[in-house]
Amino acid sequence: VLAGEAVAEERVAELPEWVGLLGGVEPLLGRRALDREADTVRTLRNRSWVVPSELAAVLVSRTPALFHCGVHEVLLATLAGAVASSHQRTGILVDVEGHGREALGDVDLSRTVGWFTSTHPVRLDVTGVCLDDAMTGGPAAGTLVKAVKEQVRAVPGDGLGYELLRYLNSETGPVLEAAPAAQIGFNYLGRFTAGASEGPAQPWELAGETAIGGSVDPEMPVTHVLSAGAA
């Protein structure tokens, strides 16, 4: 199914848009480019923060309702503003990871459990946004969220076309391979309940002895200079 979709006329027609989105020079986010031999999972540095419930409520309920957007778009706006502000640039290229369960033809996914996982790049441009005001919660924060929301939703098709054309189409693959790659990865896992002990039983719950994401080979090369995840 995916191989056929990758060569479908409507998918191939997305190629110029993806090339345009990826076009330009990507300044290094760090001091050097990633080295597949040296930069492995073992060398990663991790930082994590727990957001207070009052602030989380603003993030997952009030802000999306006010701007008619998703939680992931609010988080991407924050990420774009922070990176653009700290690195004195007006835009960033981000690989956005998703569950990959978008509708595809007449394929019925209702009986399949879990994520398929898909990734596509998004260019977030903050030109014209007063970042100092936005990052302190001023009126420009709304401008930033609106701009990022529109850019996230402007990707070609449903976003699935990027990996289809990149990896499953021998003609379009080399074109996208030659384009600049995102140095930042982003993944919003969604909202999870705390467990059965804090509320009524649910049809599906996280197993207490397991962790979301599982384990990763420590020798696996990292794909991004900065990876941001939220749940």
| Amino acid 163: pLDDT | 96
Q: Are strands 118-125 and 91-98 parallel, antiparallel or unpaired?
A: antiparallel
| Amino acid 179: pLDDT | 95
Do residues 133 and 145 make contact, with C-beta atoms less than 8 angstroms apart? Answer: no
Which of helix, strand or coil describes residue 143?
helix
| Amino acid 106: pLDDT | 78
| Amino acid 110: pLDDT | 79
| Amino acid 105: pLDDT | 73
| Amino acid 180: pLDDT | 93
Torsion (CA) 50, 141, 127, 165 in degrees, nearest 10? 50
Instruction: Give me the half-sphere count of Cα atoms (radius 13 Å) on the Cβ side of residue 200.
Output: 1
- Listed residue (9, 8, 15, 6) closest to 167, CA to CA: 6
| Amino acid 196: pLDDT | 46
| Amino acid 63: pLDDT | 96
- Domain ranges in the chain are 1-24+72-101+115-192+217-231
Q: Alpha carbon of 44 to those of 55, 79, 184, 214: distances in Å?
A: 28, 19, 14, 16
Helices 140-152, 71-87: axis angle to 10 degrees equals: 110
1-24+72-101+115-192+217-231 in CATH: which number?
A: 3.30.559.30
| Blockwise average pLDDT, block size 10, the chain, 231 residues | 92 97 89 95 94 91 96 97 94 90 75 81 96 95 98 94 97 97 94 55 60 77 96 86
